[in-house]
Amino acid sequence: MKSTSKSMINNLIALICGLAFGAGLTVAQMVEPKKVLNFLDIFGQWDASLAFVMGGGLIIYTLGYQLLIKRMIKPILNNSFALPVKNEVDKKLVIGAGIFGIGWGVVGICPGPALANLSTGNEKILVFILVMFVGMSTAKKIN
Amino acid sequence: MTDFTPFSALIGGLIIGFSALALLILNGKIAGISGIFAQVFDKYPIRSSWQVFFILGVIIGPLLVMPIGFSLPQQIDLSWPAIIVGAFLVGFGSRYGSGCTSGHGICGIGRFSIRSIYATLIFMSSAIVTVFFIRHIFGAF
């Protein structure tokens, strides 16, 4: 296969996977910040629904990875798997995850649901995505 | 109050799992939204890459399930300061900690990555503590 037509197929797959991802977030109602905040409010009006989102995602991904992908040398439509190589739990991971969690607890919006909400044109979502990008750029700078 | 909706949550989760798995089996890529979103802008000048297509999909995907009765929130009941502070921390933390709910929480744990297991436990805990402080100590919303 020529590399251009190959990357076109990879782009099409990425688009389809993205569509499914956005649809899944919507079906799961993870796009509703109230729902997410109530999921995190285990000492208050706890809504455990979103545990089922993670559960459902993990069942499929874990089975698929452990039973299928581990036995594959390369992905079906690409030359190699792009997997993280780092193994050790370092200070950056701990601090970053801690800060991410605080932000998530303040708003109940993580990057996927923010993007999935973009089509509503809600100005709070637009500002969220812009400021989120500023936060990402800042993290990259002090890296 | 929000209703307990385990069934739709599970279906949504399964769809997300299949999407992330397909991206790895077919293209060999990890479906971590924060990383993919950041990579769209890492490349300068911005050119069309698989990351752009994936993000476009996430944005358009919700429209596909609207005809069957699912919807996006019409209103976000969060104050502007909360939006701005939350967004910065979410952006900064997800990049500094190499991932968010999707990359660490689904893809990383699914690969039994020790880093992702730690990251997920940490951000779940810090999020729960944050909500506890905001709602039950400061008494906001």
- For residue B45, give how far its alpha carbon lies from the nearest alpha carbon of chain A (Å): 16
What pLDDT score does A7 carry?
A: 87
From the CA atom positions of chain B, what is the Rg in Å?
17
Tell me what pLDDT residue B51 has. Answer: 95
What's the pLDDT score for residue B45?
A: 61
Among A31, A97, A125, CA closest to B84: A125
pLDDT at A12 over 90: yes
Is residue A32's pLDDT more than 90?
yes
Tell which residue, B7, B117, B104, B78, has the closest CA to residue A49.
Answer: B7
Interface contacts A/B by beta carbons within 8 Å: 480
Stretch 61-120 of chain B: residues touching chain A, C-beta under 8 Å: 61-66, 70-78, 80, 82-98, 100-102, 104-115, 118-120
CA–CA dist A62, A18 (Å, integer) = 19
Please tell me if residue B123 touches chain A, with a CB cutoff of 8 Å.
Answer: yes
Residues B105-115 have a mean pLDDT of: 97
Q: Which residues in chain B touch residue A18, judged by CB atoms under 8 angstroms apart? A: 19, 53-61
How close is the nearest chain B Cα to the Cα of A47, in Å? 6
Separation CA A143–CA A134 (nearest Å):
14
The answer, yes or no, to whether residue A1 has pLDDT greater than 70, is no
- Please provide the average confidence, as pLDDT, over all residues in chain A: 95
CB contact under 8 A, A116 and B54: no
Query: Percent of chain A scored above 70 by pLDDT?
Result: 99
> Quick one: pLDDT at residue A51?
97
- Whose structure tokens read 């397909």? B22
Mean pLDDT of B17-22: 98
Identify the band that residue A140 occupies on the pLDDT scale cut at 50, 70 and 90: very high
Residue the block writes with tokens 């809600």: A122
Say what the ipTM of the complex is.
0.96
pLDDT of B1 strictly over 90: no
The answer to whether B87 contacts A109, with C-beta atoms less than 8 Å apart, is: yes
CA distance B16 to B22: 10
